Structure 1
Amino acid sequence: MIYAIVNIKDKQFKLIENKYVYVPHISVNVGEKILLNQVFLFSKEGKLFLGDPFLEKINVIIEIMEHIKGKKIFIFKKKRRKGYKVKNGFRPLFSKIKIVSFLEK
């Protein structure tokens, strides 16, 4: 099995070829392909390659499939015995990506 652990928007994701992953919103149009060059770890046929901090010779090509909103997250603040209550919330944005291929130089 071939997989890589990459950095996308300061979060680490394990990417497997031809699989879908939801990542924080990437500001690129749907259908476009992106080259990711911040690869921490790459595994191919049982061999591990570790970067220090990144691997220079490995890149990952991903395709943006769609942009979606996640479930609503509620933020509730309260101070005891003061009558202070505030309720807010938001829906985070995600991008669904498909891993197209791994490029080895």
Structure 2
Amino acid sequence: MTSALALVRSQPSQYAVAAVAGRKYLLAPRDLLTVPRLNDVAVGDVLELDNVHELGSREYTLRGAPHLSPDVVKITATVVEHTKGQMEFIVKKKRRKGYKKTIQHKQTYTRLRVGPFEFPQ
């Protein structure tokens, strides 16, 4: 595994597949990631993404079963902002009954800036 990790590390650009808030995302360093609202974090907090499923580059891939251990790769993400999506309109209607109702809402999101991938070894 250490030789495979050295091959991935030697490549000019890497990617990772990590789970954030229960969903898997394809990440690269310095990406801006939008996830469903994380209520227990504040703007400026640094999160450690320890649930990494795959680490790779253009020519090599390192997969975990089901995820890689935290001593292989360390990925951090900084909370940039809490925001809302665009206004969504949901229309409910009953045919021939004169009933029509419009519901409006905005979905809440948290935006994360992915930091550089660190290889502790």
TM-score w.r.t. structure 2 length?
0.75
Equivalent residue of 1:53, what SS? coil
Higher helix share: 2
Count how many residue pairs are aligned between Structure 1 and Structure 2.
Answer: 105
1:38 aligns with 2:61: no
**Distance apart, 1:89 and its partner CA:** 1.9
Over aligned residue pairs, what C-alpha RMSD do you find?
1.7
Higher strand share: 1
1:82 aligns with 2:94: no
Question: What is aligned with 1:18?
Answer: 30
Query: Identity of paired residues, percent?
Result: 28
Equivalent residue of 2:86, what SS? coil
Q: Which has the larger radius of gyration?
A: 2
TM-score w.r.t. structure 1 length?
0.85
Gaps of 5+ in 2: 1-12
Task: Tell me if the contact between 1:38 and 1:59 (Cα under 8 Å) persists in the aligned partners.
Answer: no
> Runs in 1 of length 4+ with deviation above 4 angstroms?
none
Return the alpha-carbon distance in structure 2 between the equivalents of residues 52 and 77 of structure 1: 45
Gaps of 5+ in 1: none
Task: Tell me if the contact between 1:5 and 1:12 (Cα under 8 Å) persists in the aligned partners.
Answer: yes
Question: What is aligned with 2:85?
Answer: 70
1:29 aligns with 2:38: no
Return the alpha-carbon distance in structure 2 between the equivalents of residues 82 and 54 of structure 1: 54
